[in-house]
Amino acid sequence: MMGWNDAHARGSRSDDRIARRALPSAAMLAVVLLAALAAAGCAGTGGLRDDPPYAPSAAFPLPAALEDNVTFWKEVYTEWSRDKVVIHDDRHMAVIYQVAQLPGPIEGVYTPAQRDYVRALRERWSDRLRALERRAAARAQLSTEERALKQQLEDAGGPGAVFGAAERVRSQRGVRERYHAGLERSGRWLPTFRQIFRRHGLPEDLALLPHVESSFVANARSSAGASGMWQFIRSTGRDYMTVNASIDERLDPVVAADAAARYLKNSYSKLRDWPLALTSYNHGLGGMLRAKERYGTDMARIVRDYDGRYFGFASRNFYAQFMAARHVANNAERYFPEGVRYAAPLTDQPVRLRWPATVDELALQYRVPRSALTSRNLAWQSPVRSGARPVPADSTLWVPAGASRIARGLSRPAAF
């Protein structure tokens, strides 16, 4: 499973934090940095907002060492819009060097010009940090701006944090609009998802995981091959669902939610810790078992010190992203004062087919338009949708409310 989301937020910070045109000069970089430090304490503490406190629980604790990480992702979800890009330290998340305005039209993905602009910003900051590292190593006298930058790195990462900082420069796009849209989409699915996790005896807030994985987009796909709202890769999906040329249940949000619940239940049974079990959703159970062997259930220590081969930025931040998404979802009215228009809850009914049938046969039997079935059954692949292949026996079929009573001989009730 891989996270599909990238980042979004509101531009209510001081305009001094935003580079509005081409790359800033060295002097302007210093001004941007100092303004960022003064206005936001580096990672942002909510600025002018009266942010509610975090509310960790027994299942989902928040170690003090991870608060900066959670705050960073909270800002990504609620403060920075998609026309902003944040340049930051990828280990010490409280260190934000610049919040820049993207040039040109703002679309779902970077334009080539924007990609070049962001790359140049990262390179400019890496060059500055490399120069600072050389001067610090030589014990040369530092300028006011250099001392401020060095101090911020050391406040966040301890003595010596300046060394290697040039290699830790990362960019993150804001996703405020995307998170807001995900909140609205979640209204359709969350009641059913919460019921699924309850039935499995798991914490209900696990139902919020699609805020991290897909923003509740049913057909989300990642570059790593993960699909659907719950972002299963094909190999893991086949362990829990039907994934073939006719049916790909990774794309059925409810079936995939049940699969996610079973995956997380199994991971928790092995790891006995929810932060580790959640991180296994991104990093894999085997990897988190190895991390536990070395550091126990100390999630902050794992994030800081574990050097597993594939334990990179996404895995290190997965639990913090979940905690931030959970916090924002549970305080949506505070972070989105413009309002959230939640979609109406799901009322479609699931049934299990007793024998194979084509889409046209099903439409006839259930007395509904063909489109009423194709729009509801997101797991159907092209051969099934076109009628070239039947919907296999024992498949989950979603029908409009009340239609399940019409063709009882063709199907039996299904429950999630």
C-beta of residue 221 within 8 angstroms of C-beta of residue 1: no
Fold annotation for 178-335: Lysozyme (1.10.530)
Q: How far apart are CA 348 and CA 368, in angstroms?
A: 13
**Can you tell me the mean pLDDT for 202-231?**
97
Nearest to 218 by CA among 259, 257, 271, 179: 257
pLDDT of 31 above 50:
no
Residue owning tokens 């002018």: 48
Q: Report the C-alpha dihedral over residues 231, 233, 237, 242, rounded to 10 degrees.
A: 100
Reported as a pLDDT band with limits 50, 70 and 90, residue 335 is very high
**Can you tell me the mean pLDDT for 310-335?**
98
Reported as a pLDDT band with limits 50, 70 and 90, residue 409 is confident
Reported as a pLDDT band with limits 50, 70 and 90, residue 341 is very high
pLDDT of 126 above 70:
yes
- What region does 42 belong to: left with phi over 0, alpha with psi -120 to 50, or beta? left
For the chain, the structural domain boundaries read 15-63+82-174, 178-335, 349-413
pLDDT of 17 above 90:
no
Q: DSSP of 358-372, one letter per residue?
A: -HHHHHHHHTS-HHH
Which of 85-94, 174-183, 186-195, 407-416 is predicted least confidently?
Answer: 407-416
Q: How far apart are CA 172 and CA 186, in angstroms?
A: 24
Reported as a pLDDT band with limits 50, 70 and 90, residue 35 is very low
CA 354 to chain centre: 38
